[in-house]
């Protein structure tokens, strides 16, 4: 009889401590609103509306900063706008979340090629070869970019050559 009130208090304490934990999401589960916004941003990107894509993808990241697909899509937009440094920074953030993200490695490698950092892009290519031994679209995209070479860096060199 004496233990009944104590057991009741202990039971209520255990319930109160466990309730907030059961309502939280796990670390690997993204906010559904962020995923929805990321898909809308991807649709804007596909339609060529880069400003709208940027706004929507940034909103997706504000809702859930762990959405690495939104980082990669935002890096793709930056690449289309020839903001290769920004694309590399964004893919670095995605790679912090998952170092083996083949999309991020490929987009980052292409941006590096465009800036003339072919040696660093080659390192991404080697990592992609390990991740996709049978080949994948990301591997072929980076391989073709390395074969093609930089388009922006060579254009800058041609226009900045001194004629003295």
> How does pLDDT run across 63-95, given as a tens digit for each residue?
999 999 999 999 999 999 999 999 999 999 999
Cα Rg, the chain, nearest whole Å: 23
What is the model's pTM? 0.76
CA dihedral for 135, 57, 33, 100, sign (positive or negative): positive
Tell me what the pLDDT averaged over the chain comes to: 85
Q: Is the pLDDT of residue 144 over 50?
A: yes
**First vs last Cα of the chain: how many Å apart?**
102
Angle, in degrees to the nearest 10, between helices 118-131 and 102-114: 160
Q: CB-based contacts of 67: which residues, under 8 Å, 6+ apart?
A: 30, 31, 34, 35, 38, 60, 61
> How does pLDDT run across 93-117, given as a tens digit for each residue?
999 999 999 999 999 999 999 999 9
List of domains in the chain: 32-153 (1.25.40.10)
What is the Cα–Cα distance from 12 to 1, expressed in whole angstroms? Answer: 18
Q: Is the pLDDT of residue 150 over 90?
A: no
CB 31 within 8 A of CB 64: yes
Average pLDDT, stretch 122-131?
A: 93
Percent of the chain having pLDDT more than 90? Answer: 67
């Amino acid at each position: 009889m004496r233990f009944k009130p104590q057991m009741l208090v202990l039971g209520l304490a255990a319930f109160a401590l466990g309730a907030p934990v059961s309502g939280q999401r796990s670390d690997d589960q993204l906010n559904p609103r962020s995923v929805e916004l990321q898909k809308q941003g991807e649709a804007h990107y596909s339609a060529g509306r880069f400003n709208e894509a940027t706004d929507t993808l940034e909103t997706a990241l504000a809702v859930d900063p762990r959405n690495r697909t939104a980082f990669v899509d935002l890096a793709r937009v930056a690449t289309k706008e020839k903001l290769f440094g920004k694309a590399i920074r964004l893919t670095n953030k995605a790679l912090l979340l998952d170092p083996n993200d083949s999309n991020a490695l490929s987009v980052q490698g292409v941006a590096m090629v465009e800036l003339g950092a072919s040696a660093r892009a080659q390192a991404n290519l080697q990592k992609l070869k390990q991740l996709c031994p049978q080949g994948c679209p990301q591997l072929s995209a980076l391989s073709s970019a390395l074969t093609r070479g930089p388009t922006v860096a060579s254009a800058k060199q041609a226009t900045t050559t001194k004629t003295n």
